[in-house]
Amino acid sequence: MDTSVFVSKDEIRSRFSGAMSAMYQQEVPQYGALLSLVHEINASVLKHDPALHSALRQQSELTRLDVERHGAIRVGTAAELKGIATIFAVMGMYPVGYYDLSVAGVPVHSTAFRPVDDHALQTNPFRVFTSLLRLELIEDANLRAQAAAILSQRSIFPSGLLELAEQAQVAGGLTEPQAKEFVAAATAVFRWHRQATVDQDTYRKLHAAHRLVADIVCFKGPHINHLTPRTLDIDAVQEAMPQRGIPAKELIEGPPRRRHPILLRQTSFKALEEEIEFVGQAGVGSHTARFGEIEQRGVALTQAGRALYDSLLAQTRDAGQQAATTQTYAERLQHVFAQFPDDSDEMYERGLAFFRFEPRDPAIWQQELAAGRPWNLPDLIKRGVVALRPITYEDFLPVSAAGIFQSNLGDAEQKNYVSQAARSEFERDLGSPVLDEIELYRAAQTRSEHALHQRFLAESG
* Cβ-Cβ contacts under 8 Å for 126 (sequence gap 6 or more): 13, 14, 16, 17, 67, 68, 69, 70, 71, 91, 93, 114, 115
Distance CA(416)–CA(422), nearest Å, equals 16
Work out which of 131, 187, 197, 302 binds ligand OOG, going by CB under 6 A: 131
Q: Which residues bind Ni ion (CB under 5 A)?
A: 72, 228, 293
Q: Smallest distance from the beta carbon of 396 to Ni ion, in angstroms?
A: 7
Give the binding range for ligand OOG (CB under 6 A) out of 146-154, 189-197, 393-401, 436-444.
393-401
- Residue 94 interacts with, from Ni ion, ligand OOG, none (CB under 5-8 Å by kind): none
Assign 3 to helix, strand or coil.
Answer: helix
Sheet strands (E) in 47-145 = 69-75, 94-100, 108-114, 127-133
Torsion on CA atoms 60, 61, 65, 71, rounded to nearest 10: 120
Q: Smallest distance from the beta carbon of 212 to ligand OOG, in angstroms?
A: 8
Helical spans, DSSP H, in 322-433: 329-336, 344-349, 362-371, 377-382, 398-407, 423-430
Give the binding range for ligand OOG (CB under 6 A) out of 30-38, 165-173, 309-317, 401-409.
401-409
Q: Smallest distance from the beta carbon of 73 to Ni ion, in angstroms?
A: 11
For position 404 contacting ligand OOG by CB under 6 A, the verdict is yes
* Residues in 266-285 that interact with ligand OOG by CB under 6 A: 266
> 13 and 125 in contact (C-beta within 8 Å)?
no
Instruction: Write each residue from 293 to 332 as x if it is in contact with ligand OOG (CB under 6 A), else as -, in one continuous string.
Output: x---------------------------------------
> 57 and 358 in contact (C-beta within 8 Å)?
no
Work out which of 9, 74, 249, 287 binds ligand OOG, going by CB under 6 A: 74
Cβ-based nearer residue to ligand OOG, 108 or 312: 108
Burial category of 319 from C-beta neighbours within 10 Å (exposed 0-12, middle 13-18, buried 19 and up): middle
Cβ-based nearer residue to ligand OOG, 129 or 309: 129
Half-sphere exposure of 422 (CA within 13 A, CB side): 21
- Residue 249 interacts with, from ligand OOG, Ni ion, none (CB under 5-8 Å by kind): none
For position 400 contacting ligand OOG by CB under 6 A, the verdict is yes
Partners of 108 in beta bridges: 133
Cβ-based nearer residue to ligand OOG, 88 or 396: 396
Q: Smallest distance from the beta carbon of 369 to ligand OOG, in angstroms?
A: 45
Give the binding range for ligand OOG (CB under 6 A) out of 84-92, 229-237, 367-375, 398-406.
398-406
Distance CA(416)–CA(98), nearest Å, equals 20
Q: Smallest distance from the beta carbon of 57 to ligand OOG, in angstroms?
A: 27
Q: Smallest distance from the beta carbon of 211 to ligand OOG, in angstroms?
A: 11
Q: Smallest distance from the beta carbon of 406 to ligand OOG, in angstroms?
A: 10
Q: Smallest distance from the beta carbon of 333 to ligand OOG, in angstroms?
A: 18
Binding footprint of ligand OOG, residue count (CB under 6 A) = 12
Angle between helix 50-58 and helix 29-48 axes, rounded to 10 deg? 110
Question: Backbone phi, then psi, for 212, in 5-degree steps?
Answer: -70, -30
Classify residue 179 by its DSSP letter: H
H or E stretch covering 227: strand 226-229
Instruction: Write each residue from 221 to 260 as x if it is in contact with ligand OOG (CB under 6 A), else as -, in one continuous string.
Output: ----x-----------------------------------
Give the footprint of ligand OOG on this chain (CB under 6 A). Answer: 72, 74, 129, 131, 225, 266, 293, 396, 400-401, 404-405
